Amino acid sequence: MVKVDKKTCIGCGTCPGVCPEVFEMGPDGKARVKKGADKKAKCIKEAIKSCPVDAISN
Ligand code: SF4
């Protein structure tokens, strides 16, 4: 299941940029998986590759 490690995320904003249907920025300034997001969206792979600190796992 796709998830963001909040301890590792530096809040760069890249993952919601490349995969807005799955990721959003939370009030804590860290990325999170949207409620009801399509966990099989193709852009998840792209987001994982794009994260500078490897905070996204699937
Ligand atoms: S790309 Fe990585 S560091 Fe940037 S907001 Fe997403 S999870 Fe956080």
> pLDDT of 1-58, one tens digit each?
999 999 999 999 999 999 999 999 999 999 999 999 998 999 999 999 999 999 999 9
Q: Is the CB of 13 under 6 A from ligand 1?
A: yes
Residue 24 is which amino acid?
Answer: E
CATH number at residue 28: 3.30.70.20
Q: Is the CB of 33 under 6 A from ligand 1?
A: no
At residue 28, the pLDDT reads 98
SS (H, E, C) 22-46: CEEECCCCCEEECCCCCCCCCHHHH
Q: Is-above-0.75 flag for pTM? A: yes
Burial class (CB in 10 A: 0-12, 13-18, 19+), 18: middle
The kind and range of the H/E element at 18 are: helix 14-18
Question: Any bridge partners for residue 3, and if so which?
Answer: 57
In which domain, by residue range, is 17 found? 3-57
Q: DSSP secondary-structure letter at 4?
A: E
Question: Measured in angstroms, how far is the CA atom of residue 22 from the centroid of ligand 1?
Answer: 12
The total of structural domains in the chain comes to 1
